[in-house]
Amino acid sequence: MNVSTDKVLRLREGDDVAVAIRPIRAGEVIGVNGSEVQAQQDIPAGHKVALRTVRTDEPVHKYGQIIGFATKTIEPGDHVHVQNVGVKPLGLEYEYSTAVPKVDFVPEGERRTFEGYLRPNGKVGTRNYLAVVSTVNCSATVSRYIADKFRGDALKQYPNIDGVIALTHKSGCGMNIRGEDLRMLEATLAGHARHANVAGYIVCGLGCEVNQASAMISKTGLISLGTPTQNPTIVTIQEEGGVTKAVERGIREIAAMLPWANSFTRSTQPASHLFVGTNCGGSDGNSGVTANPAVGWMTDEMVRHGGTSVLAETTETYGAEHILTKRAVSPEVGKKLVALMRWWEKYTSMHGAEIDNNPSPGNKAGGLTTIYEKSLGALAKGGTGPLVDVVGFAEPITKRGFVFMDTPGHDPVSITGLVAGGCNVIVFTTGRGSVFGYKPVPSIKVATNTPLFEHMNDDMDINAGMILQGATVEDVGRTIFEKIIAVASGERTKSEIHGIGDEEFNPWMTGAVL
């Protein structure tokens, strides 16, 4: 009898399942930790095979945690997935700050540096853009026309400028003028306008919208970055006399900023100015085994060098938050995270949905069965260090270390919040093949498996699938860390080479459209 001993991986002692490293045929006998099970069905790579009997309603364990409950009896060798596992309340009990790790910081003089753009306000950028900030969808086209004028050879004589971007969206009016929706939109736009990767910007509006440019500037404390006046330049379509005149005015204003933006050059800066936003997209059963743990190693290393790594996607941390509350530097920080989970339960139920509607069809095809399983794998991006802060969507990230930001799991919205908060590099793990990019911040794509990396080599920056072929998590984590330093210093990512990133700006709109 042919017994395969290297085709599955049991992640923790006591787990009820193992993960298939490669497709397993029905009838194939698999050796796991000295015992054998026979596959009862075909099991795709990244999916789970049962190692022992799990009775109906009993919990199923992976990562040493509960990932769901058996909806019918699962026998050894069964394919464990949506046909026999479901979700029930976990009844989690939280501990706060009971296991706060100590950080072994690298001595100041030995910490890594990168080549970045030092701004007058002390922030450091990894890219050098100019921006047209649209207040409302009604000014989106004009904003786009202004930015488009500076494509191609238009910036040839300004080699230090990466481009001109238009931050356009579908909102800005038909909203509660005193509501949270407007406040979040203002914070998101302001966070991008003052971002370290943006040397200067103008604001473009229609004139009659709820999100008035002057009010937004006043409430968020925006100041001019690249114009002679203290107040940012506002181009208002109605005041200018229509589309053509507004576009012409906007082009003149951006053109006047070009020498200012081009005057910035890269200089050696400490890694403490790196704010890394982490995200999953198109996850699969390998995400929590390869790419996410490797990103977690990077998170710990970045913190050791004085930098910051930010975990987001609250809906994809649900069911795993109890692990983070133990690592919170104070009970107050841990309770902020738990409060987010309770808010999300109310928010989703208000819209007739359930938070465990996640994972997506693509996630399930890749082997993820429940939100608990997905969350436990996603959580690995946060490493093992102390949780120093929990911040709201698009809220400025002010503390160095490992931070959590409240965002939805939808990638463009999540990363929009991370960038608005100050993240100047994105690390994006994917098992199904996301091609995400985002301007003005570079996005490093980490493939969870080698077949994906080889199939989409033009889009993937790093292959974490090497872990399934003998590389260690530290090996790949260090590769990610070094790639961040290189990209922050100017090396282009695959998504940047493709020019992706102009359409992904997506503010989170939580309220009613009036």
Write out the two tokens for 513: 């459209």
Domains of the chain, by residue range, sit at 3-86, 115-266, 274-497
Give, as one character, the DSSP assignment of residue 135: S
Q: What is the pLDDT along the chain (514 residues), one digit of tens a residue?
A: 333 446 899 999 999 999 999 999 999 999 887 889 999 999 999 999 999 999 999 999 999 999 999 999 999 999 999 999 999 989 899 999 999 999 999 999 999 999 999 999 999 999 999 999 999 999 999 999 999 999 999 999 999 999 999 999 999 999 999 999 999 999 999 999 999 999 999 999 999 999 999 999 999 999 766 555 567 999 999 999 999 999 999 999 999 999 999 999 999 999 999 999 999 999 999 999 999 999 999 999 999 999 999 999 999 999 999 999 999 999 999 999 999 999 999 999 888 887 766 678 888 999 999 999 999 999 999 999 999 999 999 999 999 999 999 999 999 999 999 999 999 999 999 999 999 999 999 999 999 999 999 999 999 999 999 999 999 999 999 999 999 999 999 999 999 999 999 999 999 999 888 9
Q: What is the Rg, in whole angstroms, of the alpha carbon atoms belonging to the chain?
A: 24
Question: Domain 115-266, what architecture?
Answer: 3-Layer(aba) Sandwich (3.40)
Beta strands in 351-437 (DSSP E): 387-391, 402-405, 425-430
Yes or no: say if 64 and 104 are a contact pair by the CB < 8 Å rule: no
3-86 and 115-266 share one fold: no
Distances (CA, A) of 171 to 69, 175, 218, 234, 300: 41, 8, 20, 18, 38
User: Is the Cβ–Cβ distance between 435 and 459 less than 8 Å?
Assistant: yes
Closest CA to 487 of 19, 115, 15: 115
pLDDT number for residue 361: 87
The reported pTM is 0.95
Q: What is the pLDDT of residue 226?
A: 56
Look up residue 84 and give its two tokens: 């026999």
| Residue 238 CB neighbours (<10 A) | 13
* pLDDT for 372: 93
Q: Is 194 helix (H, G, I), strand (E, B) or coil?
A: coil
For position 358, what pLDDT does the model report?
Answer: 64
Choose the CATH number for 3-86 among 3.40.980.10, 3.40.50.2300, 2.30.130.110, 3.40.190.10.
2.30.130.110
